[in-house]
């Protein structure tokens, strides 16, 4: 009797165990959760760049992807409103610039490590970076049908000037701005960005500096920014409107322009 009961109990337990094992397959919850988690990480997990670009470095809220499905489609985009310096003060981007996160990061370090020290050498404080264009879906130099500009990839910025804390505006291409300041900034800027175009590049960048982070084979870089000398050019600048209107120069300039369109922005 006792043995029979034990046998029955064992049988029941075994059945229960079997039933438990049969009704609750162990791997089941995982497949259900795993794809959801993966999808979740794709859609909401911040990029590594986004994780690096913290509030200690920049005021740069994330934007939805721009450009739709066209050739100017860019993901991981931010609106760079200000660069935050080590002392927590802010250098505004005026106007705020739409750019891919990785390019915003380059601009942040350019401001912190290159522009701020350059301005400090003038015994001044940097207030803002005044720019013309950041993201814009267009061909290079605004030419329809030309190769897509880095502006169309949210990977470029046209910088006009820097504004000091006291309101003084220093144009980066202004001959009246201290030459040492412009030359120092040119060297630092060309060391940081893979393309730098300014006066003397192609006639399209006489009043601003274009910087971008295009990737080229073999690490090839373009640094074309003539830092002109105010004292040497002063008499000529007063006499001759810029650019110089001689027909020969105009022909040269247009030839340069058309050839440079193949190579540059
Ligand atoms: Zn540009």
Cα 255 to middle of ligand 1, angstroms? 20
Instruction: Report the pLDDT averaged over residues 78-100.
Output: 98
What pLDDT, on a 0 to 100 scale, did the predictor assign at position 87? 97
Q: How far is the CA of 263 from the centre of ligand 1 (A)?
A: 14
The verdict on 124 and 58 lying in the same domain is yes
The Å distance, Cα 141 to ligand 1 centre, comes to: 7
The answer to whether position 20 is within a domain reads yes
How far, in Å, from the CA of 133 to the mean position of ligand 1?
7
Omega of the bond prior to 243 within 30 degrees of 0, cis?
Answer: yes
Distance in Å, CA 62 to ligand 1 centroid: 22
Q: Is 3 exposed, middle or buried (0-12, 13-18, 19+ CB in 10 A)?
A: exposed
At residue 69, the pLDDT reads: 85
Q: Which has the closest alpha carbon to 227: 205, 249, 198? A: 198
In angstroms, the CA 231 to CA 225 distance is 18
Q: Give the rounded percent of residues in the chain with a pLDDT score beyond 70.
A: 71
Residue 145: band (very low, low, confident or very high) from pLDDT cuts 50, 70, 90: confident
Shared-domain flag, residues 33 and 14: yes
Domain carrying residue 256: 47-263
Q: 212-246, pLDDT tens digit by residue?
A: 999 999 999 999 999 999 776 555 544 444 555 45
- pLDDT at res. 91: 98
Note whether 88 and 152 are same-domain residues.
Answer: yes
Residue with tokens 């970076």, as numbered in its chain: 129
Give the total number of structural domains in the chain.
Answer: 2
Whether residue 42 is contained in a domain is answered as: no
The answer to whether the peptide bond before residue 95 is cis (omega within 30 degrees of 0) is yes
Compute the average pLDDT of residues 15-30: 45
How far is ligand 1, taken at its centre, from the CA of residue 183, in Å?
Answer: 20
Q: What pTM, to 2 d.p., does this model score? A: 0.73
Taking the centre of ligand 1 as the mean of its atom positions, its distance from the CA of residue 111, in whole angstroms, is 18
pLDDT score for 43: 59
How many A from CA of 160 to the centre of ligand 1?
A: 10
Q: Is there a single domain that holds both residue 152 and residue 33?
A: no
Q: What is the arithmetic mean of pLDDT over 182-201?
A: 98
Q: What is the pLDDT of residue 231?
A: 72
Determine the average pLDDT of the residues in 159-181: 97
pLDDT of residue 232: 62
How would residue 141 be classed by pLDDT, with cut points 50, 70 and 90?
Answer: confident
Q: Does some domain include residue 208?
A: yes
The closest alpha carbon to 85, from 42, 43, 114, 65, belongs to 114
Angle at which helices 179-192 and 101-110 pack, to 10 degrees? Answer: 140
**Average pLDDT, rounded, for the chain:** 82
Lowest-confidence segment of 13-17, 63-67, 205-209 by average pLDDT? 13-17
Instruction: With CA atoms as reference, report the closest residue to 124 among 95, 163, 85.
Output: 163
């Amino acid at each position: 009797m006792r043995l029979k009961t034990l046998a029955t109990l064992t049988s029941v337990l075994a059945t229960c165990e079997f039933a438990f094992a049969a009704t609750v397959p162990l791997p089941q919850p995982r497949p259900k959760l795993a794809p959801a988690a993966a999808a979740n990480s794709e859609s909401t997990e911040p990029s590594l760049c986004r994780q690096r670009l913290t509030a200690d470095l920049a005021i740069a809220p994330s934007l939805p992807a721009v450009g739709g499905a066209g050739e100017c489609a860019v993901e991981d985009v931010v609106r760079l409103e200000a660069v935050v310096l080590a002392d927590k003060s802010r250098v505004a981007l005026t106007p705020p610039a739409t750019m891919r996160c990785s390019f915003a990061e380059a601009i942040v370090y350019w401001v912190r490590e290159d522009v701020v020290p350059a301005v400090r050498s003038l015994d001044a404080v940097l207030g803002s970076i005044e720019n013309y264009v950041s993201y814009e879906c267009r061909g290079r130099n605004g030419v329809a049908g030309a190769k897509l500009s880095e502006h169309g990839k949210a990977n470029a910025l046209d910088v006009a000037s820097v504004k000091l804390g006291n309101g003084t505006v220093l144009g980066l291409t202004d001959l009246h701005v201290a030459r040492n300041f412009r030359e120092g900034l040119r060297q630092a800027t060309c060391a940081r960005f893979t393309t730098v175009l300014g006066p003397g590049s192609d006639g399209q960048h006489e009043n601003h500096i274009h910087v971008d982070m295009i990737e080229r084979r073999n690490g090839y870089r373009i640094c074309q920014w003539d830092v002109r000398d105010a004292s040497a050019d002063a008499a000529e600048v007063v006499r001759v409107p810029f650019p110089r209107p001689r027909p020969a120069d105009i022909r040269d300039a247009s030839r340069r322009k058309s050839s440079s369109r193949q190579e540059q922005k």
